[in-house]
Amino acid sequence: MRIATWNVNSLKARFDKVAWWLERGRPDVGDDEPFAEARMLSAVCGGIRVVCLYAPNGRIVGSSFYQAKLQWFERLERWLAEAADPGEPIVLGGDLNVAPQDIDVWDARACHGGTHVSPPEREAFARLCRWGLVDAYRLHHPEPGRYTWWDYRAGNFHKNFGMRIDHLLVSRALRPRAVWAEIDREARKGKPLPSDHAPLVVDIDGPGCPFDAGWASAEERIAARRARPG
C-alpha cells in the first residue's frame, strides 16, 4: 500500500498538476488537502487507520494564530490518547507546519526564533512521537537537505532553501512494515505552476510504483553552483 500526502496549495488551481502526479506516484491512499478548513479526516483503508491532518500555520510566534496552533496540537494529543492505540496500525500525516529538528531546515540560524521551528512547536511534534509515532521518512533518509516546502520567492527552490514540514508518522506497530519513503522533488517544478510543497509518500509492506524523485541530480547542480567563483 502506498500512502501519500501533498498540500497542493489550491486543488482548483493545480488540478492538472495533481492529475499528472497521481499517474506518476500512483498512491493507494492520498491526502491532497483540497479543503483548507478540514483540519482532520480519519478512515480505515486496507486495515490501516489513516489520519489526514492540516495543522494551523501559526503565522508569527506569540500571535493568537500561534497560540491556536499549539492548542490544536494539544487537542490532537488528547484525541490520540482517547481514541487511538500505538499498538494498532496507524499512519498520521499531512502538512503539520513543524520542522522537528535543525536538519529539517536549510539554515537553522536564519530560521531561529520563527514559527515552524520554535521550541513549543517542536515539543508538540515530539510529544506525538513519544505517544508512539515514528517519522517514516527519517526511517529511510537520515541525510540533510531534504525538504517538502520551498518559498516561491528568491529562487529558494533552486537553491534548496526549504523546510521539511510535511510528515507521515507511523505507529510502532506499523514501523517494521514501512519499507520505503520519499519526497518527490520533481513535482515541485515545471508547468503547470506547481505547489510550494512536494508530495511525500510511504510504502507499506511492499514497494509501490517506482519514480525518480530527482534529489541526486539536484544535489549535483546545487553543489556545482556553489563551487563557482564569485
Kindly list the domain boundaries of the chain, sorted by start residue.
2-227
Provide the pLDDT confidence category of residue 135 given band limits of 50, 70 and 90: very high
Low-confidence winner among 35-44, 84-93, 197-206 (lowest mean pLDDT): 35-44
CATH code for residues 2-227: 3.60.10.10
Q: What local confidence, expressed as pLDDT, does residue 32 receive?
A: 52
Of 23-27, 37-41, 101-105, 145-149, which gets the smallest average pLDDT?
37-41
Residue 179 and residue 204 in contact, taking contact as beta carbons nearer than 8 Å = yes
What's the pTM? Answer: 0.92
CA distances 2 to 37, 65, 103, 126, 195, Å, are 25, 33, 26, 25, 21
Q: What is the pLDDT of residues 8-60, one digit of tens each?
A: 988 888 999 999 999 999 999 876 553 344 478 999 999 999 999 999 999 99
What average pLDDT does the segment 79-108 reach? 96
Average pLDDT over residues 83-93: 97
Instruction: Name the helix (H) or strand (E) containing 131.
Output: helix 119-131
Kindly list the catalytic residues: 54, 95
Distance separating alpha carbons of residues 140 and 143, to the nearest angstrom = 9
Based on its alpha-carbon atoms, the radius of gyration of the chain, rounded to whole angstroms, reads 17
